């Protein structure tokens, strides 16, 4: 009987705990009252065993109720934490969202002759006007403002008129130019994707392009000659407005005053507004020139036409000898493009009081590398994926690469070659001090955080597309995710054929002598 009373006392305590956690509950209150009445009844011989069994059963029920109360409290705490994270992410997105800018024409005449003498510096921002609503520009395609998130402005001057376009999922087997949607169907418990593998992305101009930006490889005589020839041809034959870098404009004017019509910019603030003026970007150089062109655009990027005049050609499929034929076809459209994803990086220092105090965003087209720099110690990096612990990197460093950068540093470190339109992030260690540490390919929606632990024996260094090295001290972290603004590059054929041509021609991939035939002689 004493055991029953002890169990009953414990049950009363459990009932009180559950009542305190969940507030007044009729079921728990009735159970508590019933237990109290049962305990206060006088002792009756012969029912002690049944009372013990009953009290044990009630104790089990009380434990279940206790667990339910604890689960409720835990769920409420988790919900509050998710709400906090949502608010933080929402505030961050609002801060990173570029503001809409509108331009007004330069005072005075805005004729073609005057435009030839004026540069971007004449375009001054005016007070914000009513934002135009974004609408889909076609039922069978992806609007330019949806994929590239272009922001269009009310423009009066001819020079700032943007050419509109839309992207379409096209089937290379279609002969009647009917573009099909990427269909995902659910039938009888089976999920299927229709014809995804046969589709490429096509860009079709809805209005002719007017403004072209030409970016060149520096310190190359052949590039200078080609640039001058291309500028003259685009102006005289295609009647386009030409923009170049200040360095290139000075070189052109040194050669001849004829190139006075070429326009440029004066400061970084004007570079931020290039995407609202330029319709097409032409690069003359190698893959490094494409990286340089992408770095000029911190937001939306116009279509890029890369001509091969460098040592690497993974992203430069066009031959400079046939530039007139290529540019005529591209200006007329449509053209196949490759959407090359970029990574968005932020450096958060240990002394930062909140996540908003960071260095960034920094956009990279190839990769961000975290290495040990000049230190002789192995790097010690804690890696997290969406707040889940992944591993600790001990070695020379780590590479976070886009699929476009899979043929660059990541490949040299043992990573896989990935088609550039595959949406993903490559996680490649550099000389890891573990034989089982193999590269990973992560989905595009994840957020990676690489942190230098406080007990690290040295500093780490982060570089972005091989530039802008930043020191990471113990406690500092690098946060990396997929950027919203891809880089659309024109294809000579399509994205798949260009990719295989680049690895065959640039890397001589799987090139070997054919095995000789040593079989039995043929019968006559």
* Domain 112-171+184-340 = CATH 3.40.50.10330: yes
Q: Could you state, in order of their start, the residue ranges of all structural domains in the chain? A: 1-59, 112-171+184-340, 343-482
pLDDT in tens, the chain (524 residues): 555 455 555 544 554 444 444 455 554 555 556 656 665 665 555 556 677 777 778 888 888 788 888 777 777 777 777 777 777 777 766 665 544 443 333 434 444 444 344 444 433 344 443 344 344 444 444 444 444 443 334 434 444 567 777 766 665 555 444 444 444 444 445 544 444 444 688 888 988 999 999 999 998 899 999 999 999 999 999 999 999 999 999 999 999 999 999 999 988 778 888 888 899 999 999 999 999 999 999 888 999 999 998 777 889 999 988 899 999 999 998 999 999 999 999 999 988 877 777 887 999 999 999 999 888 888 999 999 998 999 999 999 999 999 999 999 999 999 999 999 898 999 999 999 999 999 999 999 999 999 999 988 889 999 999 988 999 999 999 999 999 889 999 999 888 999 999 999 888 898 888 877 776 766 65
Closest C-alpha among 115, 97, 386, 416 to residue 260: 115
Helix (H, G, I), strand (E, B) or coil at 371: strand
What is the model's pTM? 0.65
User: Which residue, among 83, 85, 104, 101, has the nearest Cα to 93 in the 3D structure?
Assistant: 85
Nearest Cα neighbor of 21 from 83, 81, 59, 77 is 77
Residue appearing with tokens 């087209």: 365
Backbone angles phi, psi at 448, to 5 degrees: -105, 140
Rg (CA), the chain: 32
CA-CA distance, 98 to 297, in Å (whole number)? 12
**CA gap 216, 290 in Å, rounded:** 9
* Active-site residue, 287 included: yes
3-class SS of residue 512: coil
> Do strands 367-371 and 304-308 pair parallel, antiparallel, or not at all (unpaired)?
unpaired
Estimate to the nearest angstrom the gap between the alpha carbon of 424 and the chain centroid: 9
Nearest to 509 by CA among 422, 440, 406, 427: 406
CA distance 200 to 91: 36
For CA atoms 407, 411, 415, 417, the dihedral sign is positive
Task: Note whether 112-171+184-340 and 343-482 share their fold.
Answer: no
Helix (H), strand (E) counts: the chain: 12, 26
Pairing of strands 241-244, 211-216: parallel
Indicate which residue of 287, 371, 476, 494 is catalytic.
Answer: 287
Of 215, 371, 409, residue with least CA distance to 295: 215
CB neighbours of residue 449 within 10 Å: 18
Query: 144-181 in b/e burial notation, b at 16+ Cβ within 10 A?
Result: bbebbbbbbbebebebbbbbbbbbbbbeeeeeeeebee
CB atoms within 10 A of CB 360: 16
CATH number of 343-482: 2.60.200.30
What is the end-to-end Cα distance of the chain in Å, rounded? 106
């Amino acid at each position: 009987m004493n055991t029953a009373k002890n169990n009953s006392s414990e049950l009363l305590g459990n009932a009180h705990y559950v009542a305190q956690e969940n507030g007044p509950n009729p079921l728990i209150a009735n159970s508590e009252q019933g237990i109290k009445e049962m305990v206060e009844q006088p002792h009756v011989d012969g029912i002690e065993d049944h009372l013990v069994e009953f009290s044990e059963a009630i104790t089990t029920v009380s434990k279940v109720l206790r667990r339910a109360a604890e689960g409720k409290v835990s769920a409420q705490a988790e919900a509050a934490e998710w709400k906090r994270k949502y608010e933080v992410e929402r505030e961050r997105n609002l801060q990173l969202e570029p503001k809409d800018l509108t331009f007004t024409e330069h005072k005075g005449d805005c004729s073609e002759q005057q435009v030839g003498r004026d540069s971007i510096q004449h375009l001054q921002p005016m007070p914000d006007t009513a934002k135009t609503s974004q609408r889909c520009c076609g039922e069978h395609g992806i609007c330019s403002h949806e994929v590239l998130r272009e922001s269009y402005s009310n423009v009066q001057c001819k020079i700032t008129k943007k050419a509109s376009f839309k992207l379409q999922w096209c089937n290379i087997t279609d002969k009647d130019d009917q573009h099909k949607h990427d269909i995902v169907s659910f039938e009888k418990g089976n999920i299927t994707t229709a014809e995804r593998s046969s589709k490429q992305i096509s860009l079709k101009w809805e209005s002719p392009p007017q403004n072209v930006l030409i970016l060149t490889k520096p310190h190359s005589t052949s590039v200078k000659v080609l640039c001058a020839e291309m500028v003259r041809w685009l102006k005289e034959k295609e009647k386009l407005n030409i923009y170049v870098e200040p360095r290139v404009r000075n070189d052109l004017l040194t050669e001849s005053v004829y190139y006075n019509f070429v326009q440029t910019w004066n400061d970084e603030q004007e570079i931020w507004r290039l995407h609202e003026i330029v319709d097409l970007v032409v690069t003359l150089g190698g893959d490094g020139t494409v990286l340089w062109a992408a770095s000029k655009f911190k937001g939306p990027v116009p279509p890029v036409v890369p001509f091969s005049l460098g040592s690497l050609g993974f992203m430069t499929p066009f031959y400079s000898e046939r530039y007139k034929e290529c540019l005529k076809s591209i200006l007329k459209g449509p053209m196949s493009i490759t959407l090359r994803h970029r990574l968005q990086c932020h450096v958060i220092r240990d002394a930062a009081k909140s996540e908003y105090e960071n260095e960034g965003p920094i956009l990279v087209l190839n990769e961000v590398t975290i290495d040990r720099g000049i230190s002789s110690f192995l790097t010690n990096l804690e890696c997290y994926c969406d707040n889940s612990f992944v591993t600790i990197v001990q070695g020379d460093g780590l590479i976070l690469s886009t699929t476009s950068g899979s043929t660059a540093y990541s490949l040299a470190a043992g990573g896989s070659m990935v088609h550039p339109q595959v949406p993903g992030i490559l996680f490649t260690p550099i000389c890891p001090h573990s034989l089982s540490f193999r590269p990973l390919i992560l989905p595009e929606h994840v957020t990676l955080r690489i942190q230098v632990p406080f007990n690290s024996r040295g500093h780490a260094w982060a570089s972005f597309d091989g530039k802008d090295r930043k020191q990471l001290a113990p406690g500092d972290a690098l946060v990396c995710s997929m950027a919203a603004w891809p880089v659309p590059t024109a294809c000579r054929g399509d994205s798949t054929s260009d990719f295989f041509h680049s690895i065959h021609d640039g890397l001589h991939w799987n090139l070997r002598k054919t095995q000789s035939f040593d079989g039995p002689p043929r019968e006559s």
